Amino acid sequence: MRIIPAIDIIEGKCVRLSKGDYETKKIYNESPLEVAKTFEDYGIKYLHLVDLDGAKSKHIVNYKVLETLALKTSLKIDFGGGLKSDTDLKIAFENGASQITGGSIAVKSPETFVSWIEAYGSKKIILGADVKGIQIATDGWLETSDQTLFEFVKHYQTKGVEYVICTDISKDGMMEGPAVDLYKNILAKTEVKLIASGGISKIEELPKLQQLGCEGIIIGKAIYENRISLKQLEKFILS
């Protein structure tokens, strides 16, 4: 199971939110590069980079942060937030993204999202399935669509999607444990490579998600609040 720390960006700074609420913003570091390099020092190979300004403004904003991290680290970066057009996608890949995550675009412009899968391949395009209850949320989680999680994922599986990041928004940033039952259901009902996200609070939760069959796990606030140390993650990666 891949360990994928998260860096969320607002105004070029490393922040975290609770349940996606921008009013709960907490700045953890002024330098995303410093954070990324620290991850790298502990054997981390992957990074989930989210442009929260982009998610809110509906176009890519913090691509210069992406470029810096891609140039100055060897991390394989999955980039999301504000990717709403072919131009946004091109900017993300040109500035060093290894993969991108599309959530809102997959809801609001399915033809565009499918064309991305066809053009770039299923290894590079991740489906973002972020849920409130079982409804897919969009636009930095500020809106809720009428699409349900399982129909959404199954539909895109037929279009070639291989990787899915699923965040239970009620758990995101709360450090009260991941949505184990939700992930169990997804893995039982689909054949995607599932990346779990949201709610991780302690190292003991990681083996449970690994046993479920999750392909990866995104960890954010638990690292920044020192609930999970990078040393513990290093041991988990090496074990």
Active-site positions read 8, 130
Query: For the chain, which domains are there?
Result: 2-238 (3.20.20.70)
Mean pLDDT of 19-25: 88
pLDDT value of residue 134: 87
Residue 202 burial (CB count, 10 A) = 12
Phi-psi region of 48 (alpha: psi -120 to 50; beta: other; left: phi over 0): beta
pLDDT of 239 over the 90 cut: no
Question: Is residue 172 pLDDT above 90, yes or no?
Answer: no
Residue-wise pLDDT for 186-221, tens only, equals 999 999 999 999 999 999 999 999 999 999 999 999
Percent of the chain with pLDDT strictly greater than 90: 86
Average pLDDT over residues 1-18: 95
pLDDT of residue 185: 94
Q: What does pTM read for this prediction?
A: 0.94
Give 90-126 pLDDT, tens digit per residue: 999 999 999 999 998 999 999 999 999 999 999 999 9
What pLDDT, on the 0 to 100 scale, is given for residue 228? 97
- Contact 178/205 with Cβ under 8 angstroms? yes
Mean pLDDT rounded to a whole number for the chain = 94
Q: What is the pLDDT of residue 182?
A: 94
Pairing between β-strand 135-138 and β-strand 193-197 as defined by DSSP bridges? unpaired
At residue 187, the pLDDT reads 96
Say what the pLDDT of residue 147 is: 93
Q: Has residue 142 got a pLDDT over 80?
A: no
pLDDT interval class at 139 (50, 70, 90): confident
What mean pLDDT do residues 22-36 have? Answer: 95
Phi-psi region of 178 (alpha: psi -120 to 50; beta: other; left: phi over 0): beta
Mean pLDDT to the nearest integer, 49-73? 95
